[in-house]
Amino acid sequence: MLAEIITIGDEILIGQVIDSNSAFLADELNKIGIRVGKITSIGDNREQIITALDDALKNAGLIIITGGLGPTNDDITKQTLADYFNSKLVLNTTVLDHIKTLLSLRGVKISERNRRQAELPDNCRILHNALGTAQGMWFEKNGKAFISLPGVPFEMKTIMMEYALPMIREAFRPSPIQHLTILTHGLAESAMANKIASWENNLSPSIKLAYLPSPGILRLRLSVYDSANEAGRMLSEELSRLKHIIDDHIFGYNDDTLEELVGNLLREKGHTLSVAESCTGGKIASMVTSVPGCSDYFKGSVTAYSNASKCDLLGVDPDFIKKFGAVSQPVVEEMARGVRERFGADVSVATTGIAGPSGGTQEKPVGTTWIAVSTAGSTISQRFSFGEHRGRNIQRAAISALFMLRKELITIS
């Protein structure tokens, strides 16, 4: 069972709006066992819409369209669909009453443009939009289903979850696709591929492996498509084999996040955390505080970017900076100890580095980063070389800092 997604809107094609709708739809369809074979973005153009529908009709059993259902002249999707499915637009009084009520709650008087949004094709099933004026529509042709949804993300998601997905399950009765995502750190994509090559080459044909790299983290996603009844056992067996090869690099599964896992460790051990950041500029603190309930363990942070702030706020010895430089082992360890003591935390982490694109030297090129973790018993540190891209350097440094912290938390009582 294949699906196709068609997004309509000039704003997507000129880069003004990011197409997050397709990612959401593909994810939800995948969860119920429907694979998306193609995603197409087109402009607000009748000929493009018809061509995209014809192409999708040849290849997919389910076609989902988003966008082009608003009240303005450039929103031509509804009329084009009515023509495509040989229907005529008729006024739906129930939808009209809904639009009137919705607009009155917003203090807006209904206009002729709004009224026309209650005119819907006479051969579609209406998918009620409780949050907006543009309704979803379900058409059928040649045994295939076409679903048209508003482009506004929160409206589209609500209609999809409340109406479209249950109807899709009923119409197609798909077999669920089962996934297992393994989260790893410490090996780049190519190095990981080399390390697990023998294991990968011996995977069952029913299991597909995908490498999903991002700065600092590599996800390995195992998907079972054709053996639904055996999927759980197959995935468990393959994970067991894989752990024998890369267990030291695995830190979580599926929707786990590093910041949540670190937070869980801190809470379990009853420890508190403080953070000192230079090159990461608050990224670590932002990740830590993105977790609900982090106030249980997070004391606070200092973003000490200048040398003066490192000395004044964290107690770094100015002579250390003069002798070793701000990006050095002595300085990062002083930062870690200083922030731990000032906040009265049990453990702390600190970063200092050259994020780039300028500021590097032959001895300390762009990407050079020192990270330290401090506890009452010891302070450890490590030098990293992350590369030349500023954004990736910041992301990698923050993730590496949390990994160092996680490793230290596992070992201490």
Q: What is the mean pLDDT of the chain?
A: 95
Give domain 258-411's CATH superfamily. Answer: CinA-like (3.90.950.20)
- What is 178-253's CATH number, 3.40.50.720, 3.40.50.300, 3.40.50.20, 3.30.70.2860? 3.30.70.2860
Q: Enumerate the domain spans of the chain.
A: 2-172, 178-253, 258-411
| Cβ-Cβ contacts under 8 Å for 225 (sequence gap 6 or more) | 35, 177, 206, 208
Q: Which of 374, 275, 163, 395 is nearest to 149 (CA)?
A: 163
Domain 2-172, what fold?
Molybdenum Cofactor Biosythetic Enzyme; Chain A (3.40.980)
What's the whole-model pTM score? Answer: 0.76
Average pLDDT over residues 72-83: 93
Q: Enter the tokens of residue 73.
A: 């002249």
Determine contact, residues 302/276, Cβ cutoff 8 Å.
yes
Task: Fill in the DSSP letter of residue 23.
Answer: H
Average pLDDT over residues 80-94: 97
Strand partners, 36: 3
pLDDT digits (tens, 9 = 90+) for 19-75: 999 999 999 999 898 999 999 999 999 999 999 999 999 999 999 999 999 998 888
- How many Cβ atoms from other residues are within 10 Å of residue 165's Cβ? 17
